[in-house]
Structure 1
Amino acid sequence: MECTESSTGEGTSEELFALSTAIAAVVGGSVAIEDLDRRVLAYSTLPDQLIDDLRRQGILNRQVPDEPRQLSQYRAVLNTTGVRRLPPLAPDELPRAAVAIRAGDLPLGTIWAIEGSEGLTSASERALLDGARLAALHMLRRRSAAELDLHARQEALHGALNGNGSAAETRFRLGLSDQPQFSLLGLAPLRVAGRESPPVVRLGVSAAGHFAAVHTEAAVTTLGRTVYVLLPELSAPAVRRLAEQAVTALARSRDVPLRSAISRCDVDPGELPQLRTEVDDILRVTTTDPTAPPVASLEDAHARVLLAHIGDTLAREPRLRHPSIAAMLEHDREQRTSYGASVLAWLDAVGNIGQAADLLGCHPNTLKYRLKRVRELFGLDLNHPDDRLSCWLQLRLSR
């Protein structure tokens, strides 16, 4: 195969082709260098290298086929500091070893090697690790000064969200004015049962490119399962418009919908860890609810966030749970009764027996009897408003 130079701007060059071939000479199997979107930037061309159909397909298309189980493997490689061995995903696939390409904490791509006939030797591991360091240098060298500035801002925001550095240092590193008004925006995929989300680092790369085009002062970084965007010198309505645009634009190339959380506006860079907590609280409830709005502030999600915190408190402090409610729910589980559901429906209906009975699909007299039995069996008094509130909270959270 002929080695040709590409102009993708991600470091694809004759140098990367030569590097992948040099690694393959040590490993014994075909080697491919990929970016974070799994585009094949370069590949080895030794005539006697081990190769399989999946690698051939990736080379011909210059793109690794999108297979759900591969997403887990990419995530594992990007979360590993050394070389990661990976089992075959199909009978005709050869075992692979891979390593992440990084510049500091910044992920740039991955190197994938088909293991040679001797398996993964210590020399093979050294070749992959050295190759990753060299590939990072080649890829960074082809980046523009503007991209490197974005990386510096990313590192500054990363540290500020973790509470590192003073407010003055954070303001300087992020290039903020003396009295900056800013908001923190969070992006995360909706969690869909039975479907694994793509690595969030890919969302971070896409978000960085998007916000570099729409707001030159934005800073973008990735922490955990969330992409954070600092948006200075914008009003709250403007921040919401940018969040809505980002969710729409970044979701187009993904099967899983995105959720965005908007923090309050602030002027103190020292408050960024608190703004991060606010964003995390919002995303915690919106990324697990398919009916939640794609973009939400704390005001939009206040009730669900409050319930989540109350649930955390009850989980940490079981002694705060009402013993009568615990006994009622345990009785429901063991005896297959529905006292808890009946009380909750009655509370949801604000004491309207007819409406609650309709929700439960039973006769109003049946519901009245169940409420009477709740008092008799468990000593649960629903006449006092505080007791009703406590009961509703615990039943709502248990549901």
Structure 2
Amino acid sequence: MDTRTLGELLDTLGEPALRLLTAPSGLTAPVTEVLLYDAHAPFPDRAPGALLLAVGVRADAAGALVDEAAAARMAGLVVRGEEGAASGQGSSSGPGLASGQGPSSGPGPGPGLADAVVRARERGLALLTVDEDAAWHHVHLLLAGAVGARPSPAGGAALGDLFSLAGAVATAVGGATVIEDPRQRILAHSTIPGQPVDEPRRQGILGRQVPGSPENTEQYRVLFASQGPVRLPALSAEELPRLAVAVRAGGETLGSLWVVDDGSLAPDAEEALAQGASTAALLLLRARAAQELSRHMTGDLLRRLLDGTAEPATAAERLGLAPGTPVRVAAFALEGAAGAPDGEQAALRLLDLVRLQCEARYGRHACVLVDGVVYALLPVADGRAGERQRRLAEDIVRRAGQALRVPVRAGLGDVVPEVSEVRGSREDADLVLRVLGPDETVAAMAEVRARAVLLRLTELLGERRELAAGAWRDIVAYDAGHGTDYARTLVCWLDAGCDMARAARLLAVHPNTCRYRLRQARTQLGIDLDDPDERLVLWLQLRTLAGLRSAGV
């Protein structure tokens, strides 16, 4: 069996899906299986190399489970993360994490996990966390799939095909071969006995990432500028030269093939490598096509849910949502880019960015672009999900704004109890986008409900003749014809709760001036300001239809 290592799992899944807190035995520790903890079942006496998911165990109670897992010779324990929990990066962190000296992406584990981290280090057990929003069955599916087979970062065709290709190329060319993606991640490598592999390549395979350096960057520049195989010199005394070729399709760079050149490559090595690049392009394109088809089908399903034409139960099942799962819709839009010449392309890039972040958090995820707005369907796992989802939206807005160089705004609809009510949450999210202020980038419906209600009232009142009629029109017309300021005075007085002194301050006039204006309005226009119903209707109409406010008008 081709056992996976802890480092390979971290590189395959990565943050934020899986976070490493400590790895006393290093990242080369083998992981043989993934187990779900069951408090009502006997704990296994021996499970060497197993990764245990601490289902139902609180972070502050994980210490006892660490002891049991270590005694059973398990590879690690996975618990739910907590606010403030941080991790070391999977491929770049080494055994130094055991002493707390590895790199960290945050302030360290929260107090609930601190004891468990110390105990895990003492017992030689890796300790990892998953996001609080993650469902255990989804985490189990991801990890079990990663342990059982090498999943493809390109997302479609099995990496087994690329591993087979790497082996075939290595045999034909005569040197150890790796296949990389454009970000220098190692997708597959050959394992032909007897072919030398230098230390930099060995470290790259172990971490599934080519170590970065200025010299390395220059070699990649030369490689991607070339139309065929290139021979590249060794970058250090412990490294062998390389024969490399870019993998392209239709002018797009999909990755690269690299061969260790120990001086004994086949005479036709360059031709064989070029042929291998053509096959690699087909495999990578097939992987992309499968991924895009899956995303298209999921996006189309969400589109029909949003407009109310999908059958909810079937849609929920296909989206991987349990019956009765609460959900909400998040809407993301580019500010002022809809009419730009490249607005459509920018919106598609925004879709990719939103999908990437949501998939990292929730796994296979439903996102769709509709009329320039990107919609994401977010499951609500518990009472704190809203706070975390707001932070997710803020993170997406920040990242997307930096990447696209266009301001991005986000609106979170209300949580609805099940998928059948998604359309209402979508309408909420759209409304939030419409009422966001100039200095606001993210808001949930609960935060802007008053503004949203007033906006909808404005639209409703304006659509109906009987609702748009009333004394407010006479007041506005009288002001326009006589140079008076009765409408604004009334709004300030009503905004001030009928407090004359406060209204005068809003108007920047003497209270007697305010009283005089109100008396004149009563006398000349016949307004009954003693009637609470008339005051309410007048206030709403002046605020919505006339668009008056007590400040800055």
**What band does the TM-score fall into relative to the shorter chain?**
0.5 to 0.7
Alignment-derived partner of residue 112 in structure 1: none
What's the secondary structure of 1:354's corresponding residue?
helix
Higher RCO (C-alpha under 8 Å, 6+ residues apart):
1
Query: Distance in 1 between the 2:380 and 2:364 partners?
Result: 9
- The answer on 1:272 being equivalent to 2:418 is no
Query: Distance in 2 between the 1:357 and 1:219 partners?
Result: 53
Structure 1 counterpart of 2:310, from 165, 176, 179: 165
Amino acid at match of 2:476: L
Query: Distance in 1 between the 2:486 and 2:340 partners?
Result: 35
Q: CA deviation at 1:195?
A: 9.2
Structure 2 counterpart of 1:188, from 309, 333, 338: 333
Alignment-derived partner of residue 479 in structure 2: 332
Structure 1 counterpart of 2:446, from 299, 303, 314: 299
Structure 2 counterpart of 1:252, from 396, 402, 406: 402
Structure 1 counterpart of 2:296, from 151, 160, 184: 151
Query: Distance in 2 between the 1:254 and 1:376 partners?
Result: 59
Could you list the per-position Cα deviations for residues 239-278 of structure 1 after superposition, in whole angstroms to 9, with x for gaps in the alignment? 2222222222222234543322222333422212122112
Superposition RMSD in Å? 3.2
Amino acid at match of 2:355: A
Label 1:339 to 1:254 Cα distance change in 2 as closer, same or farther (>3 A).
farther
TM-score by length of 2: 0.44
Alignment-derived partner of residue 229 in structure 1: 376
Label 1:138 to 1:145 Cα distance change in 2 as closer, same or farther (>3 A).
closer
TM-score by length of 1: 0.60
Q: CA deviation at 1:361?
A: 2.3
Amino acid at match of 2:302: L
Could you list the per-position Cα deviations for residues 54-83 of structure 1 after superposition, in whole angstroms to 9, with x for gaps in the alignment? xxxxxxxxxxxxxxxxxxxxxxxxxxxxxx
- The answer on 1:220 being equivalent to 2:370 is no
Query: Distance in 1 between the 2:226 and 2:461 partners?
Result: 62
* Higher Rg: 2
Amino acid at match of 2:543: R
Query: Distance in 2 between the 1:196 and 1:357 partners?
Result: 50
Alignment-derived partner of residue 77 in structure 1: none
Structure 2 counterpart of 1:290, from 438, 457, 464: 438
Alignment-derived partner of residue 354 in structure 1: 501
Amino acid at match of 1:381: D
- The answer on 1:311 being equivalent to 2:458 is yes
Label 1:337 to 1:201 Cα distance change in 2 as closer, same or farther (>3 A).
farther
Could you list the per-position Cα deviations for residues 209-247 of structure 1 after superposition, in whole angstroms to 9, with x for gaps in the alignment? 232233314311111232110122533233222222222
Amino acid at match of 1:227: V
- The answer on 1:240 being equivalent to 2:385 is no
Give yes or no for contact 2:528–2:534 (8 Å, CA) kept in 1: yes
Q: CA deviation at 1:304?
A: 0.9
Label 1:385 to 1:217 Cα distance change in 2 as closer, same or farther (>3 A).
farther
Label 1:201 to 1:340 Cα distance change in 2 as closer, same or farther (>3 A).
farther
What's the secondary structure of 2:448's corresponding residue?
helix
Label 1:352 to 1:313 Cα distance change in 2 as closer, same or farther (>3 A).
same
Amino acid at match of 2:408: L
Alignment-derived partner of residue 124 in structure 1: none
Label 1:360 to 1:266 Cα distance change in 2 as closer, same or farther (>3 A).
closer
Amino acid at match of 2:421: E
What's the secondary structure of 2:333's corresponding residue?
strand
Q: CA deviation at 1:147?
A: 4.2
Could you list the per-position Cα deviations for residues 266-295 of structure 1 after superposition, in whole angstroms to 9, with x for gaps in the alignment? 342221212211222222212xx214x433
Q: CA deviation at 1:344?
A: 0.7
Amino acid at match of 1:260: A
Percent of residue pairs bearing the same amino acid type: 30
Unaligned runs of 5+ in 1: 6-11, 18-40, 43-136
Give yes or no for contact 2:412–2:444 (8 Å, CA) kept in 1: yes
Could you list the per-position Cα deviations for residues 127-168 of structure 1 after superposition, in whole angstroms to 9, with x for gaps in the alignment? xxxxxxxxxx99964616444322321121112112122112
Label 1:265 to 1:352 Cα distance change in 2 as closer, same or farther (>3 A).
closer
Query: Distance in 2 between the 1:202 and 1:168 partners?
Result: 31
Query: Distance in 1 between the 2:303 and 2:357 partners?
Result: 18
Query: Distance in 2 between the 1:332 and 1:202 partners?
Result: 50
Query: Distance in 2 between the 1:384 and 1:150 partners?
Result: 58
Give yes or no for contact 2:327–2:422 (8 Å, CA) kept in 1: no
Give yes or no for contact 2:401–2:408 (8 Å, CA) kept in 1: yes
Give yes or no for contact 1:321–1:394 (8 Å, CA) kept in 2: yes
Label 1:190 to 1:15 Cα distance change in 2 as closer, same or farther (>3 A).
closer
Label 1:214 to 1:361 Cα distance change in 2 as closer, same or farther (>3 A).
same
Q: CA deviation at 1:178?
A: 3.1
Q: CA deviation at 1:187?
A: 1.3
Alignment-derived partner of residue 154 in structure 2: none
Label 1:16 to 1:144 Cα distance change in 2 as closer, same or farther (>3 A).
closer
- The answer on 1:176 being equivalent to 2:321 is yes
Query: Distance in 2 between the 1:245 and 1:381 partners?
Result: 52
Amino acid at match of 1:284: R
Label 1:360 to 1:233 Cα distance change in 2 as closer, same or farther (>3 A).
closer
Label 1:336 to 1:142 Cα distance change in 2 as closer, same or farther (>3 A).
farther
Amino acid at match of 1:280: D
Give yes or no for contact 1:217–1:231 (8 Å, CA) kept in 2: no
Give yes or no for contact 2:324–2:419 (8 Å, CA) kept in 1: no
- The answer on 1:16 being equivalent to 2:250 is yes
Query: Distance in 1 between the 2:249 and 2:525 partners?
Result: 76
Aligned length: 272
Unaligned runs of 5+ in 2: 1-224, 229-245, 254-281, 548-553
Amino acid at match of 2:392: L
Query: Distance in 1 between the 2:479 and 2:285 partners?
Result: 62
